[in-house]
Structure 1
Amino acid sequence: MFSYIFGTSAEGRNPPTIQEGHKAVEVVIDGEHLKVDVDVLAEVSGLFLQVQSTDAKECPLLDFPGGLERFRDIAGFLVDGEALSVTEETVLDLMEATWLLECPRLLEDVMESPFAKSLSSRRRAEILEHILPYTAASSPADSEHAADMLAATPSENDVLGSWTEHGMVSAISQGTPSLACGQFLRLFQFETLMWQTTERAAIKLASQLDSGDFILGPRLATGSLRVCAELLRLQRLREEEAGFVTAAMQPVSALWKCPGLKRRNLMDKPLRAKVSWDSHLFALRCMRRRLAATAPPSLASRSNVEMAGELKEDEQAHKDLPMELCETAQDSTLICFVELVGFVDVERLFPNWSALLIRTLLLIDQPAETGMGHSGVARKMFKATFASSILVQRLAWCAPAPVPPAWLADVVAHPDASKALLRVLAGYRHMEAEEFCDLVEHVLLTQFLSWEHCHDTILKSELVNELVGACLDAGRKAAALPGNIIPSLGERRCPAHWAGQHVLWRLEHLGRRLFDVSFVFQEGFLPHSWPDCFDGDGSNPGPLLRVMAAEDDVCCPQPQVVEVQGTCLWDEGLLTIPLLRPTMMEGRAVTERPILHYGRQVIMRHLWYKHSGTYCDVSKLKSLWDLACWSLCEDAGLIRQALEYLKGTYRELCGPQGAWTADSEEAIFQMYLAIDLSVLPIQALQSPWVPVQVQTVRLFVQQQPADQFHEELQQEVDRATEHLKSIDLQCAKLSEKLNMVEQRTVMNKSQISEASVALEEHQRRKREASR
């Protein structure tokens, strides 16, 4: 009776049994010794399995929870099968001893004890908070921050490490490597069973909590990522099953569900949680703890300071991640977050969090519960946060690029999308040919081409010049027959790994399309200063060409030679005049764009670059002249170049070795007449190689404005004469009307006079009658 009430006395208890032939080791706790059977304990404890592999005679366990008395109870339970006393005073000591001894059997017995089954919801919540840090310490996914979660003393860890190392070395030195491997596998099995048992115990406790005690907060975020995911699933299940009646009756049912513990439920202290999170914040906080644990020491120490205290953690949970923490996150860390991402609200994500979760979702692509794969959710995040997050934008081009370039089509309206695509295209040398073609055709030319920021950022960049050269170089390789020699250009523009692929013709066609759409923005692909598209500097000084060697006010009887400066794709032969013809035809239909202007510059550069003392054949020159459409040209510099080239061609044609014919001279005259020489100074035409017919036409052209002026003046005089005639006619009509008025006036005066005389006669007669 007394032993039942007060417990069994330690003095009267027998020490644990040591079987014959088994190895015995003295356990030292607080200066007291207890000899135990290591061979039996090694079957259920990872700690004694390591001790078994060493020659140590003592096993010091400093600060063992509950002291030697508690260890004696545990040893009796494991060795002799004695009943384990699990009470309010011993439950926490037994749990801590479980992880110290690495004994999953002990934890299972504690969780299946009558005491554990009779716990109230509040007490289960407190024990759950005590267990959760051990799940993070024992889980393989969270092993990096085990030291921060597990309350183990440094001396114990040192002893375990030395025992393991000594045991492995001794086994190998004795010539038994198979024994060492078996020892390692058994130890690994204990560790695996330990974290599995710990996580099952935590999940079981969480599932038995009442709704009022199941509070997602900093205290529940200390467990492993797997346990946190299970807690979130339980929370979601509770939310789905909760209704008005259930919520109203839950407090009452919680009091009466354990008839033997009604008083304990009523007397439980309230939970100490100060912060309550929803699933979104809880998932983010669990991931943030993991990131802080795997971050470099400088960032990890700062994050630990930020997490001190529940209120401080709540404050940090409502803020974005530091950019440095996101940049240092490894894929091995992010892949552990896949289960938690499903509980995150995309609409509430901060920019840096979005970049991190996009990386996480792309590490594994599996169908989600909503029917949308992880890549679909990641693409939705990318579109929603691209404009506000620099890290999300970097995902498009940072190597290795986790985000497919096709996703940039979703954010094409944002100017930064063009900058991101430009950076992606800059890595074309490391792409496969088909990948490059798909990127340009389906993204650049299909989605981006209609936006103004694409013109200023991509089409005006020097990169487009390189891309066109690379594509056309690939086409030249495809056109080369076996045995043909391609002229060497030093470093080839086409990447070496593109050679021999069946897409070379596709690349050549793609280069032609790029040439057409970017001809104006690249200023005809002539040498010029390209703008800095990332800084937004759009200033272009124009093509770097030295137009003339002589001044305009100096007479130049002999033809002048234009000096060509710089190098471009036209000089390398990658761009040819036949490629220019469709563009010039388009320029004649769209005269408001400077297509014809840049086309004439290309033609003149082509003529002067090929010039080596002799001039182009007249028939070929005539076709180039017609292509340039000189009749619409108003640029005096280009007209001067054309004049000087015609002067040299005419002099060579009329020279001793010239192939003069009437048709050739007629073609020269037509080419002279095609250019507007009136914009040039008279000194430029003072040369014997400018035909007199051209001078006559120039005089006629100069005379034409005066003749037109005189004609317009004569027309004005004729109109004035007609106007005067109409005025004279009006004056004559008015004179006739005036004469008629005068006649009527005379008649009226005579009638008035007669009336006056008659009136005077009447008055006279009246006076006489009155007399």
Structure 2
Amino acid sequence: MFSYLFGSSADGPSLPTIREGHKTVDVIIDHERLQVDVDVLAEVSGLFLQVQSTDAKECPLLDFPGGLERFRSIVCYLIDRDVLNVAEETVLDLLEATWLLECPSLLEGVMQSSFVLSLSSRRRAEILEHLLPYTAASSPADSEHAIETSGVGTSAQNDLGSWNEGLSHPQESVPVSFSCKQFLRLFHFETLMWQCTEKAALTLASQLDGGDFVLGPRLATGSLRVCSELLRLRRLREEESGFVSSAMQPVSALWKNLMDKPLRAKVAWDSHFFALRCMRRRLASAAPSEVLQKQAAMAGEFKEDEEVHDDLPADLVETAQDSTLLVFRELMAYVDTERLSPNWSALLVRVLLLLSRSGVGAGSPGEGVSRARDIFKRTFAENELMQKLASDPAPVPPAWLVDVVAHPSASNALLRVLCRYRQLEAEELSDIIEHVLLAKFLNWDHCHLILASELMNEILGACMDAGKKANSGAHVHTTQMGPERRCPDHWAGQHCLWRLEYLGRRLFHVSFLFQQGFLPHSFSSSSSSGSDSRKLLRKMAPEDDVCSPQPQVVEVTGSCLWDEGLLTIDLLRRTMMEGRAMLDKPILHYGRHVIMRHLWLTLTHLQVNNTDHKQPSSASQVAKNSYCEIGKLKILWDLACWPLCEDAGLVRQALEYLKGTYRDLCRPNGVWSAEHEEDLFQMFLAIDLSLLPIQVLHSPWIPAQVQSVRLFVQQQPADQFLQELQQEVSRAMEHLKSVNFQCSKFTNKLNAVEHRTLTNIGQINDASAALEEYQRKRARKEPKEP
């Protein structure tokens, strides 16, 4: 049907003639021109399909593999289906030309040729290593994986660049937009290309012998899909191989090395390291340029082997996007979580959680979550990235922190989670507080980092405000002093709001001591979630205006939850009862501060309100509203447990408040009664006035009975001292009597001993005289010597 070109200067087969009316382009290879029919080649080649959509007259392919003759033979095969010359010296050029021309039919012809079908296993392994980088370049899942990353196809890339530079007009450097039909055709070519490339690679891999199927850097250059299939094939090989084949494998490998060329692979990995290497390549290709600049370039199999055994750089983990991690779903089944390094562990926890949430992971979603939780529990203590992962907004559920509650970093992670409480749903925040913080963390000492933080003060305020919102309705504003409501607007539903209030009451009791009674104070930098501008509570010293007859009013400074009405005195009852059983902790001390602040704050607010009103109020109204009613004050006084107070400043405040209460009680039109005076007198007696200077009591608003009692109280220590001294003297006299009796007994014993001593001396003297007499008599009776 076709005729041949005439006038060809080169040897070899001639190209088919160009059809009439078809578009032609001059292909430039090695500075030689060859005119081809673009319309015909566009039916089988994606490259010429793109050329067809432009007005270019030339297509420079300066570094085409094999030169002009190889291109001529390929064109003849594509058009006239001539025999394709696939041999040892042409097979690699044809594979590279296949990818350059984007011609699936050419790749199928190469793979079905008698040469490829008759290749040995070793030669198939070499062809597979050459073909794998093209799968990474053409696979849609690895679209970012450019050809220059894999290190192959440089000539093809230069050819495309030269073709763009060689267009006749500068404005034509970018091809014109395709029509819809042309776009679909090009998309069809691209799809067929990566499908055929992956099919060819997997066909070669399935035909390898067990000894030649080595998982290493050379096989890790393919797309993730192909690498997953290689791992699957490798696992099938291992499952199918029996004991006999495994035992004979070293012998067969030795024989093959003797008879065939040696295997080029120098590094062998197991499935775990091979999967990690494939994922690392993908992460590196998708990482930002500034991260890639920090990573040292690796060259050579041994260098890659060192890299795969090292941990993953932290920059790659932190910059990895979720879309990149989702493509690792097929490789996760081959990763051994027990052998993961710390940074790899943090990354794969993210992968497993993403796959379980999207429902595309290998296995059931619950299995992936279980694996991720096991990794998290095992590596949290020594893994900084895992600790950051626990506090990030997305990946790790806060409930997992109960598995690592023994580690101090768990409190820091939970604190960072709670910092986002305004963005959380009410139900989610309630679960974190109830099932994580209150159920597990309270039993550990490092929980004070959370309980003593300013964040806990804010969360408690939000919880108590949620209770007010539930009681008063969502559209009713609270009486808080702040400009904004503490309870976020998206916290809705009475059930959720009441639950938050209940949990807020529990938080109040467990953190009352750590929050110093939720009074204004300075939070430490280690436990504060932000800068603190609150002032310290003003303390009244016992020496302040000691000679002031009139009652003094303590100024309340700063602001806290008590001032906003979010915390009420009723919350103190349980806490103060617990404080009476734990006197070694300052619970009662902070509780008394809260009670006195409440009393002074109420007093100052009423005074300001009465001053601001233009209409004068009657004396009875002032007496009734200035100080707390006697009945309520008596309840607060009993709650404060004043007899156990040893703080002179608090005792002075209590005295000044009672002075003002007694003055209002005795003023004209006051609410005086014998019962009120008796209650007030008992409240005076409950405080230890001996802690204060005597001048403080020089006031007409301190009852005379209190003065008398104080004298008796002051006299009582002296009487008690004299009584104790008398008891000491009596005990000393009794002791002296016992000592004298013992001395007389010792004297009698000494006299008896002396008498026995004299008797013994006399007996000794008599024995000595008798002995001497005996010796003299014996000496007289002895005869004299001759």
* TM-score normalised according to structure 2 size: 0.85
Q: Does 1:390 align with 2:384?
A: yes
Moved more, 406-415 or 369-378: 369-378
Quote the residue 2:577 is aligned against.
585
Q: Does 1:708 align with 2:720?
A: yes
Quote the residue 1:297 is aligned against.
289
The alignment partner of 1:503 has SS state of helix
Query: 1:426 aligned to 415, 419, 432, which one?
Result: 419
Quote the residue 1:765 is aligned against.
none
Q: Does 1:236 align with 2:227?
A: no
The alignment partner of 1:616 has SS state of coil
Quote the residue 1:632 is aligned against.
644
Change in Cα spacing, 1:534 to 1:605, as seen in structure 2 (3 Å) is closer
Quote the residue 2:97 is aligned against.
97
Quote the residue 1:569 is aligned against.
561
**Number of residue pairs the alignment of both structures matches:** 731
What amino acid does structure 2 have at the position aligned with 1:249?
M
Change in Cα spacing, 1:98 to 1:519, as seen in structure 2 (3 Å) is same
The alignment partner of 2:391 has SS state of coil
Separation (CA, whole Å) in 2 of partners of 1:653 and 1:686 = 19
Quote the residue 1:202 is aligned against.
201
The alignment partner of 2:27 has SS state of strand
Tell me, yes or no, if the aligned pair for 1:122 and 1:271 is still in contact at 8 Å: yes
Question: RMSD across aligned C-alpha pairs, in angstroms?
Answer: 3.7
Query: 2:370 aligned to 369, 376, 381, which one?
Result: 376
Quote the residue 2:107 is aligned against.
107
Separation (CA, whole Å) in 1 of partners of 2:45 and 2:219 = 28
Quote the residue 2:613 is aligned against.
none
Deviation, structure 1 residue 734: 8.1
What amino acid does structure 2 have at the position aligned with 1:156?
L
Tell me, yes or no, if the aligned pair for 1:50 and 1:167 is still in contact at 8 Å: no
Separation (CA, whole Å) in 1 of partners of 2:117 and 2:187 = 30
Q: Does 1:79 align with 2:72?
A: no
What amino acid does structure 1 have at the position aligned with 2:182?
Q
Separation (CA, whole Å) in 2 of partners of 1:158 and 1:128 = 29
Quote the residue 2:774 is aligned against.
none
Deviation, structure 1 residue 276: 2.5
Determine what percentage of the aligned residue pairs are the same residue.
68
Query: 1:496 aligned to 485, 489, 512, which one?
Result: 489
Quote the residue 1:345 is aligned against.
336
Deviation, structure 1 residue 168: 10
Tell me, yes or no, if the aligned pair for 1:320 and 1:350 is still in contact at 8 Å: yes
What amino acid does structure 1 have at the position aligned with 2:42?
A
Deviation, structure 1 residue 691: 1.8
Quote the residue 2:781 is aligned against.
none
Tell me, yes or no, if the aligned pair for 1:527 and 1:567 is still in contact at 8 Å: yes
Separation (CA, whole Å) in 2 of partners of 1:207 and 1:730 = 112
Cα deviation code 1:605-660 (max 9, x no counterpart): 00111113522111111111011111111111111111111111112212223221
Separation (CA, whole Å) in 1 of partners of 2:37 and 2:502 = 82
Tell me, yes or no, if the aligned pair for 1:471 and 1:511 is still in contact at 8 Å: yes
Deviation, structure 1 residue 493: 0.8
Separation (CA, whole Å) in 2 of partners of 1:45 and 1:637 = 94
Moved more, 90-99 or 33-42: 33-42
What amino acid does structure 2 have at the position aligned with 1:521?
F
Deviation, structure 1 residue 499: 4.2
Tell me, yes or no, if the aligned pair for 1:549 and 1:560 is still in contact at 8 Å: no
Change in Cα spacing, 1:605 to 1:35, as seen in structure 2 (3 Å) is same
Tell me, yes or no, if the aligned pair for 1:216 and 1:278 is still in contact at 8 Å: yes
Separation (CA, whole Å) in 1 of partners of 2:438 and 2:761 = 98
Deviation, structure 1 residue 294: 2.0
What amino acid does structure 1 have at the position aligned with 2:157?
T
Deviation, structure 1 residue 28: 3.5
Change in Cα spacing, 1:687 to 1:74, as seen in structure 2 (3 Å) is same
Tell me, yes or no, if the aligned pair for 2:63 and 2:158 is still in contact at 8 Å: no
Quote the residue 1:117 is aligned against.
117
Separation (CA, whole Å) in 1 of partners of 2:11 and 2:248 = 51
Moved more, 507-516 or 146-155: 146-155
Tell me, yes or no, if the aligned pair for 1:552 and 1:681 is still in contact at 8 Å: no
Quote the residue 1:4 is aligned against.
none
Deviation, structure 1 residue 669: 0.9
Query: 2:462 aligned to 463, 466, 470, which one?
Result: 470
Query: 1:719 aligned to 731, 747, 750, which one?
Result: 731
The alignment partner of 2:330 has SS state of helix
The alignment partner of 1:28 has SS state of strand
Quote the residue 1:551 is aligned against.
543
Cα deviation code 1:262-305 (max 9, x no counterpart): 9xx855331333333232222222222222222222332443x4
Separation (CA, whole Å) in 2 of partners of 1:171 and 1:647 = 93
Separation (CA, whole Å) in 1 of partners of 2:760 and 2:145 = 132
Cα deviation code 1:375-426 (max 9, x no counterpart): 2222222222222232222222334x22111112221111111111111111
Separation (CA, whole Å) in 2 of partners of 1:255 and 1:85 = 34
The alignment partner of 2:145 has SS state of helix
Separation (CA, whole Å) in 2 of partners of 1:542 and 1:27 = 80
Deviation, structure 1 residue 76: 2.2
Cα deviation code 1:87-121 (max 9, x no counterpart): 11111111111111111111112112221121112
Query: 2:597 aligned to 592, 597, 605, which one?
Result: 605
What amino acid does structure 1 have at the position aligned with 2:181?
G
Tell me, yes or no, if the aligned pair for 1:362 and 1:374 is still in contact at 8 Å: yes
Separation (CA, whole Å) in 2 of partners of 1:416 and 1:221 = 38
* Matching of residues 687-766 of structure 1 within 5 Å: 687-723=699-735
Deviation, structure 1 residue 522: 0.4
Separation (CA, whole Å) in 1 of partners of 2:175 and 2:761 = 158
Quote the residue 2:695 is aligned against.
683
What amino acid does structure 2 have at the position aligned with 1:391?
L
Moved more, 719-728 or 416-425: 719-728
What amino acid does structure 2 have at the position aligned with 1:404?
P
Q: Does 1:126 align with 2:123?
A: no
Separation (CA, whole Å) in 1 of partners of 2:27 and 2:533 = 87
The alignment partner of 1:497 has SS state of coil
Q: Does 1:509 align with 2:502?
A: yes
Cα deviation code 1:570-627 (max 9, x no counterpart): 1111111112122212222333322211111100000111113522111111111011
What amino acid does structure 1 have at the position aligned with 2:537?
L
Query: 1:153 aligned to 154, 157, 166, which one?
Result: 157
What amino acid does structure 2 have at the position aligned with 1:78?
L
Tell me, yes or no, if the aligned pair for 1:104 and 1:194 is still in contact at 8 Å: yes
Quote the residue 2:248 is aligned against.
249
Deviation, structure 1 residue 494: 0.8
Cα deviation code 1:691-736 (max 9, x no counterpart): 2222222222222222222223333333344455556666777899
Tell me, yes or no, if the aligned pair for 1:53 and 1:167 is still in contact at 8 Å: no
Quote the residue 1:139 is aligned against.
139
Separation (CA, whole Å) in 2 of partners of 1:732 and 1:11 = 148
Q: Does 1:61 align with 2:65?
A: no
Q: Does 1:327 align with 2:342?
A: no
Moved more, 602-611 or 326-335: 326-335
Provide structure 2 residue ranges, at least 5 long, that are not aligned to the other structure.
1-8, 608-625, 765-786
Separation (CA, whole Å) in 2 of partners of 1:57 and 1:543 = 82
Quote the residue 2:222 is aligned against.
223
Quote the residue 1:279 is aligned against.
271
Change in Cα spacing, 1:20 to 1:617, as seen in structure 2 (3 Å) is same
Cα deviation code 1:234-272 (max 9, x no counterpart): 33333333444213434666799xxxxx9xx85533133
What amino acid does structure 2 have at the position aligned with 1:648?
G
Change in Cα spacing, 1:225 to 1:742, as seen in structure 2 (3 Å) is closer
Change in Cα spacing, 1:665 to 1:291, as seen in structure 2 (3 Å) is same
Q: Does 1:523 align with 2:522?
A: no
Provide structure 1 residue ranges, at least 5 long, that are not aligned to the other structure.
1-8, 173-179, 257-261, 753-771
Tell me, yes or no, if the aligned pair for 2:27 and 2:59 is still in contact at 8 Å: yes
Tell me, yes or no, if the aligned pair for 1:526 and 1:543 is still in contact at 8 Å: no
Separation (CA, whole Å) in 2 of partners of 1:333 and 1:95 = 29
